[in-house]
Structure 1
Amino acid sequence: MLSPVVSGAAYRRGLFPENQAFASDWIPVGGDHEIFYEECGRRDGKPCVILHGGPGGAINPTMRRFFDPSRWRMVLFDQRGCGRSRPNASLEDNTTWALIEDIERLRERLGVEKWCVFGGSWGSTLALAYAITHPERVESLVLRGVFLVTQRELRWFYQEGASMLFPDAWERFCAPIPPDEQGDMISAYHRRLTSPERRVQAEAAAAWSQWEGDTMSIRGPEARPSKFNEIDFAIAFARIECHYFANGGFFPEEGWLLNNVDKLRSIPGWVVQGRFDVVTPMDAAWRLKTAWPQARFEIVWDAGHASTEPGVVDALVRATDQAYRVS
């Protein structure tokens, strides 16, 4: 078993230079859904697919910068209902299993045999689920802020746990919900985020998104992504995220990811976890490390959940450099 590496504040790697997409398009994936994807880096480079968080988030240019653009062929896509994918904020036919099928459609369309799969937060969930379902298509896994979508984790962040560390932010999160509904915040928010009235959706989405934004970084609320302030983004983010959490991530059983971790044994893996991650606490990453000791596990002691915290950037960039050498 590899001992966990604890990252401190010594010399740290930064993000790779900004780079532009060399191709982009939409592909139909069933029903009304069309997903937007882009390719960046080197056309004939080593392929990787980069999975955004949420669920309900979207790709952004910073996500391209964790991989050396002179060596990697990076593929990014907006998941169903997210970002530039169409229709926006749609919950119809929007499940973990549909997203896994979308990754496979994208892989086949681009002629990729196997690829490195990179994801943080919900992106780590989807990466694990994809690798368990299609291990023969995964050359390596690079994960950050591990999230297993268990009731333990959901209760911590949306019911009681993180609320004790951020009582001021929690008070704002509770504000749209009457006291008699606050015993089940996910259900209360789900009712509002699926309301036919956009005004009701917007109020709930703003509070839901602010709660996550306020807790994601040890640098404070100023590190909150600016998109959280855009109401169209906030509605898609909150609706889809709450939809998945109200349905337990659409997994057939509690703990499905850990119960199927044997499928990952032959896949090289890197796991990066902020010590003070409040959104996806280290307990889940530690459970994964215990079940999958073959993976390299690195704790960043001065980081929370955000992927852009310096220690997390350093660890991820080193991980992708090491993943490049996997053959």
Structure 2
Amino acid sequence: MEHTKYFNLRGTKIFVKTIGSGTPIIFLHGGPGGEHRFFLPHMEPLSQDFRLIFYDQRCGMSEKPSNENSYSLEDEVETLEELRMNLGLEKLNLIGESWGSMLALLYAVKYTNNVNKILLNAAVGASVEGFNEFEKELFSRFTDKDKERVNEILPKLETGEAVKNELFDVIDPYYVYHVESLKRKTKTTSNPDVNRIMWREIEEHYDPRNELHKLENIPISIVQGEKDLITPIKLEDLLLRFLPKAEFTVLLECGHWSVVEQ
């Protein structure tokens, strides 16, 4: 059973898709500025046993606020809390992918009593250091030819002479272990304005490290691709040491988009 609906959350129409029945799981997509379709159809088999809840965070199929101030870490956390209340859920089971893993942690340290379990996939870390490391590692893996292409495209994006898809054509192969995996990725949109604004927010405000001790009684699983841009070894310093009770699994022959690959 599939159901779609718009919820008015914090003055914005937020797109929500529900598939299946049973224990609910809420999915937090990456980006920032991505959308729920990244998880599909890969997660659909879970709907045989669970109620899967996907939503777009002020991007994708959700309404775009006219005021840029509506994009903030705090607003995304509060939107998720309003979604919980609108769905009538006492506690949330969260799956956060990439940037979504960061949102999951921010929500959990603020609304600890409203969280049942957390799975972090393709995690980035517990501070802006992880985001910076992600970008640094991505550029270090580029071939010389791809570095040239990116340096040509980036200025053109500012002037409108190039579109985001041209950049993705260069970058996407670095997000997977096997390039053939990209054939399985659902075509999705990315909002560059949301990405730009939220990057600034992360640089200035993302640092839950001193609050992660609040989560010691919440079951947390972390799944990381062996060849993720944030490698399992790097994740030890960026996140795992702050969550010593978390269960950690490394997926072999897998990159950052483990939802697609594995």
**Into which bin does the TM-score normalised by the smaller protein fall?**
0.7 to 0.9
Query: For 1:101-145, what per-residue CA distance to the aligned partner results, in whole angstroms no more than 9, with x for missing partners?
Result: 111111111110012111111111111111111111110001111
CA distance in 2, matches of 1:281, 1:89: 37
CA distance in 2, matches of 1:266, 1:111: 23
CA distance in 1, matches of 2:43, 2:137: 33
Query: For 1:265-319, what per-residue CA distance to the aligned partner results, in whole angstroms no more than 9, with x for missing partners?
Result: 01001100111112x3335532322221211101113111112355xx3xxxxxx
Matched to 1:286, the amino acid is E
75, 80, 84: which one pairs with 1:103?
A: 80
CA distance in 2, matches of 1:54, 1:89: 20
CA distance in 1, matches of 2:221, 2:108: 13
Matched to 1:29, the amino acid is L
Aligned residue-pair number: 257
CA distance in 1, matches of 2:90, 2:255: 35
Q: 1:149 to 1:297 in 2, by over 3 A?
A: closer
**Contact 1:26-1:36 within 8 A present in 2 as well:** yes
Matched to 1:219, the amino acid is H
Q: 1:136 to 1:149 in 2, by over 3 A?
A: closer
CA distance in 2, matches of 1:36, 1:118: 17
**1:58 maps to which residue?**
35
What's the TM-score once normalised by structure 2's chain length?
0.86
Q: 1:208 to 1:149 in 2, by over 3 A?
A: farther
**1:39 maps to which residue?**
18
The answer as to 2:8 corresponding to 1:28 is: yes
Q: 1:67-78 to 2 correspondence within 5 Å?
A: 67=46, 69-78=47-56
Q: What's the RMSD between the two structures over aligned residues? A: 2.7
157, 161, 179: which one pairs with 2:137?
A: 161
User: CA offset at residue 258 of structure 1?
Assistant: 2.2
Unaligned runs of 5+ in 1: 1-19, 179-187, 193-199, 314-327
CA distance in 1, matches of 2:96, 2:81: 16
Unaligned runs of 5+ in 2: none
Query: For 1:44-74, what per-residue CA distance to the aligned partner results, in whole angstroms no more than 9, with x for missing partners?
Result: x21221111111111123254263x233122
User: CA offset at residue 151 of structure 1?
Assistant: 4.4
**1:261 maps to which residue?**
212
**Which protein is bigger by CA-based radius of gyration?**
1
The answer as to 2:93 corresponding to 1:116 is: yes
User: CA offset at residue 90 of structure 1?
Assistant: 7.3
**2:112 maps to which residue?**
135
CA distance in 2, matches of 1:221, 1:149: 31
Q: Report the 3-state secondary structure (helix = DSSP H, G, I; strand = E; otherwise coil) of the residue aligned with 2:259.
A: coil
More displaced 10-residue stretch of structure 1: 262-271 or 69-78? 69-78
**1:285 maps to which residue?**
235
CA distance in 2, matches of 1:267, 1:66: 25
169, 175, 188: which one pairs with 2:152?
A: 175
User: CA offset at residue 89 of structure 1?
Assistant: 9.5
The answer as to 2:185 corresponding to 1:205 is: no
**Contact 2:181-2:260 within 8 A present in 1 as well:** no
User: CA offset at residue 157 of structure 1?
Assistant: 3.9
**1:16 maps to which residue?**
none
**Contact 2:20-2:51 within 8 A present in 1 as well:** yes
CA distance in 2, matches of 1:177, 1:71: 44
What's the TM-score once normalised by structure 1's chain length?
0.70
Q: Report the 3-state secondary structure (helix = DSSP H, G, I; strand = E; otherwise coil) of the residue aligned with 1:161.
A: helix
Matched to 1:30, the amino acid is R
Q: 1:154 to 1:122 in 2, by over 3 A?
A: closer
Query: For 1:217-252, what per-residue CA distance to the aligned partner results, in whole angstroms no more than 9, with x for missing partners?
Result: 011276174536xxxx24x1x322222113325526
Q: Identity over the aligned pairs, expressed in percent?
A: 24
More displaced 10-residue stretch of structure 1: 260-269 or 286-295? 286-295
**1:240 maps to which residue?**
194
Q: Report the 3-state secondary structure (helix = DSSP H, G, I; strand = E; otherwise coil) of the residue aligned with 1:172.
A: helix
